[in-house]
Chains A and B, each alone.
Chain A
Amino acid sequence: MQNALRLIFFLLVRAFVLVFLGMQVRRRNLLPATGPAIVVANHNSHLDTLVLISLFPLHLLPRVRPVAAADYFLKNRFLAWFSTKVIGIIPMIRGHASKHFDPLAPCHEALARGDILVLFPEGTRGEPEKLEHFKKGIAYLAEKWPQVPITPVFLHGLGKALPRGEFLLVPFFCDVFVGEALTFHDDKNIFLDDINSRFKTLADEGHFPAW
């Protein structure tokens, strides 16, 4: 039932994205074809999650799980139901990490199940169409799962279509640049620098006028 609901929702999302947005995807073949895997992307808009999920073939839909902030997406009962059951998020509790509490625990469980995690290491949508430095969480996760491939995906245009704080969607084409997958290496800082620099390279592929 839930899977059917999710399938219908994402079919509608696909049709909507196709007609009103339009994607120009480079190297779609580099996306993971099976789990466990991690996809990391820059975050500008609520549309990011929907577009990323609709890049995957439908048979992988039950496997693809976006990681999203619990404080935002579990705000009320309806939103919580919609986020967890229809979008299929893995809720993440932000800012309470301690010895007794690991906010990444649900991510570990999902990877152990063989899911494909969709993560936004900037932590927030932030300023539209501006690449922010990644937070450390992704490095902790990667260190725990050194065999799991991490695929960087750079998104552009969705922050123009629906930026933070806006409810009116304005159609824009969006660019999706998929990069080569990497796995954890050296230590957390070096690895984080590596991911950041890969995003910089992906972003430089397009020549986007400042916005």
Chain B
Amino acid sequence: MIDKTLLFAIGGIWGLLALASAIVFAMVKLNPQKNLTELAQRTKSWWVMVAAFTFAMLTDTIVSFCFIGFISFLALKEYFSLIPTRREDRRVLFWAYLAIPLQYYWAGTNWYGMFIIFIPVYMFLFIAFRMIISQKTEGFLNAAATIHWGLMLCVFAISHAAYLISLTPAGSEKPVGPMLLLFLAFLTQFNDVAQYVWGKSFGKHHILPIVSPKKTWEGFIGGLCTTTLASFLIAPFLTPFSKPESLFVGALIAAAGFIGDVTISSLKRDIGVKDAGSMIPGHGGVLDRVNSLTFAAPLFLHYTRYFYF
């Protein structure tokens, strides 16, 4: 039996997406001289992503874990394909991929201690150990650091979103965890869109011109306020937060989302690419879509877990 609140919330996302699509459709029709293909493509991709997310949320929690684990895999694959790797480390990368099922297993079994140390302690040490077997010292430090950082961003950070599902107290009738995940996923993505729209409409003052020339103070603050308001409105249905807390959490997600976004921008700029991939038409790669989650998920999980579970 699927919980009514969860169903209602997901229905709300579909409704919002339909509304946004109608607006984009009208914009394309009214401004035929402007090139809005990217916007139209982006909107189309949103439908696919929301459909996949809905399926993962409504079938079974195991499917939800596998879904987020698969996102980790795609992001890590994108990252490893992007960064310079040494030929000798091919098999090291294979071991790094194997961290994904294990990390999501810890998340799924609610083994918090293991979940929180597995990657930053044991995988990091193991990767370094496996690397010395090939006895190639040239570029060792760079290679170890880039592989570690990839595991941190793509696996460790994103798995925090999945851990939310395990927060459901034993015997609870309500799917507390999935509702928290829905809250986080919706707000990070909503914040991305809100920042984009505010920036496009009113953006003037650059915030980090060298890292990300398109980001503006207007976009950041507009997005932050919109997301905080959205959090205030939906938190009573999906989370245990009080009113002042829901404002704080909304701002936290918006700010962390922004930092995650520009961190990935910095990485791409260092490598010299615009998008991390081309898997999602209009958006770029998977990493371009989940960048805000890399910072927002750990902060949100820890805040929620320490104060409520």
Contact = CB atoms under 8 A, between A and B. Distances in A.
Given A166-B90, A207-B272, A171 B77 contact: yes
A153 to B, nearest CB: 17
B272 A24 contact: no
A173 B77 contact: yes
Nearest to B87: A211
Contacts of A210: 84
A179 B94 CA distance: 32
A164 to B, nearest CB: 12
Interface in B73-99: 73-74, 77-78, 80-81, 83-87, 90-91, 93-94, 97
Given A24-B277, A171-B77, A209 B93 contact: no
A52 to B, nearest CB: 19
B278 interface: yes
Contact of B94 (A157, A168, A173, A211): A168
Contacts of A22: 74, 77, 277, 279
Contacts, number: 43
Nearest to B272: A207
Given A24-B277, A24-B278, A207-B272, A172 B77 contact: yes
B277 A173 contact: yes
Contacts of A128: 87
A160 interface: yes
A173 B87 contact: no
Contacts of A207: 272-273
A163 B85 CA distance: 14
Residue among B77, B78, B93 having the largest count of chain A Cβ atoms under 10 Å:
B77
Contacts of B87: 128, 211
A99 B246 CA distance: 84
Contacts of B74: 22
A88 B272 CA distance: 40
A170 interface: yes
A172 B94 CA distance: 10
* Interface size band for A: 10 to 19
A91 to B, nearest CB: 30
A75 B156 CA distance: 46
Contacts of B73: 171
B277 A170 contact: no
Given A168-B94, A207-B272, A173 B83 contact: no
B84 A168 contact: no
B91 A209 contact: no
A47 to B, nearest CB: 14
A172 B87 CA distance: 13
Residue among B83, B87, B90, B93 having the largest count of chain A Cβ atoms under 10 Å:
B90
Contact of B81 (A163, A166, A168, A172): A172
A170 B94 contact: yes
A128 B86 CA distance: 12
Given A22-B77, A24-B277, A207-B272, A171 B84 contact: no
Nearest to B93: A170
Given A22-B279, A207-B272, A157 B93 contact: no
Interface in A139-177: 157, 160, 163, 166, 168, 170-173
Nearest to B70: A19
A207 B273 CA distance: 9
Interface in B14-41: none
Interface of B: 73-74, 77-78, 80-81, 83-87, 90-91, 93-94, 97, 271-273, 277-279
5 contacts: A128-B87, A157-B81, A168-B94, A170-B97, A207-B272
